[in-house]
Structure 1
């Protein structure tokens, strides 16, 4: 009998031969190595990207800090240069005003810009334009005559008793003068004013049938009535604008701002009418009065809070004068010091007499230069 062959498992089954198992193990190891290499490469790339991003962020931060530092340095340099320029200007007497010391002539465009700014600053209705309270043309005529050399508030305070007692021109024309003087006494100049309003009332009765005429020429024939009073009556009682009422405030501010050089009300009115378009004539009185009462007061103008000071010729002149004064003061300091030293004997080469002569000469030069500079500035207003 032949010997028995050992039993073998079918190679097609689940179990494999030893060579095949080794091959499988080698494939698994290769795959693991490949995956490890891939993961390592990905990690390295990720780390490199993160490092690059960090370096980029650091570089951007450094650049930003450098730029900020440069800007700060530039600002400091600019500020330093500006301060040096200001000091230099102050020392040399060079004006920092945009007009550079030369005051230009007032033009219609600039004048309208000024009034437009005041119109924006003091909004008002037509009824608010008159500071005197009245019910008819006769009342506004009499009250405007009384308002000379006094305040509107004072005239408004005597209005009630005056027109309750004498409501018509005929009543006031036939009144007892002493009683009229008593009523209007707070308005001041009561003797003259009583005569004016009684004569005016009489002429209204005899020449105009007790009515107030709506004409400039006829109004100015009445006692105590000039162009200012006539303009106010026409504007507020009849809505007629033929001129500009120039009272104390209007005349003062018109000269300060540079609208006119004339102090005479009639001449100043002509200058204003030539300077401004007609549509502004009825607004100028109210706006300049408001500004004169609230900001540009006669005794103490509040230039620091004035909305139109950069246009104001008076403000420009005072600025230029202050700069010239500072310049000449600084220029004379060495001379004064030298003079003091000569008095105390520290400068033997210069005695008191020569110091006085030298000071007089320098003072004369200063006066002549200041005179011609002021004359030049005024000629340009």
Structure 2
């Protein structure tokens, strides 16, 4: 068996060993829909369901109040570990349909529907690389979403669909991008790329869509909820980056959190975060020069996002990890050993970051930064390209044959 096949096979296996273990532990402690004494199966999906249920019951004043929110969850499910609803009010537009359903049914629809949507969005990329489409649901970031019920499948699918459309269907790409307003920070770098390439149609449609979603949330849930979110919850999110000893922090990939976990002061950790973010933005800005189709930036931009965001989690890395393994698979023969190792390490980050944090090894930001450079080199984004628009470098666009 070729070295490439062996390496890729072990990356898929090793990348999911932690989730396999966590699933096994949960199943061994499962009674009803509860795991152990204080966790629900589906874990953080509970927040999405609770947000929708609170909106339906007209009790949104409890959504961003830690004590009252916790009381609401315990009244419905019994003793639970502390949960925090940290999403903006726009997310409630998505939550309400799920909150109207029994929890178990809502969780099943959320997981199956999200996985199906991500499968659909990733299928052209997998087909172009000659890999089975179902493997898109088996990356280390994807299996975290299966375990913990996060937004990674939905946001990843919207990201993939938007980048396939940027060069060929700009209005539809704008609509898709606008839908990411349910969790907007994940799409932070998309406006930068659109501005760099002066894609005014997409920007206009996306901006209008975000405006409609924002106004809809204001009308449906009231301005007070937004004020509470900005003044209370957003501040709480910032404070969590300076905390220590919390398991959820091991799932955070940012430079700031990594440095804080290793005894740096907040100012020094913040400076390290800024340095990492600026480096990633400069690399991406350089790669997005005229003549480079935006479709070719789909995966590098996803990787760069987790170097820029100070508040970022491994379960949102569905596109980033998919890009690592696809670039490794497609460009294997053109890469050196260290470049292959860099992409392999990047692929393992979503679950590896937990183990590295527990071991006190602050490598995640460095791994992602090196992997970003390798991705760009492998796809020719540092080399001069002819002035043209169209399909990405090696990546298909809608309406373009990939057979």
Q: Is the TM value for this pair above 0.5?
A: no
**TM-score when normalising by structure 1:** 0.27
The structure with the larger Rg is 1
Higher relative contact order (CA 8 A, sep 6+): 2
**TM-score when normalising by structure 2:** 0.26
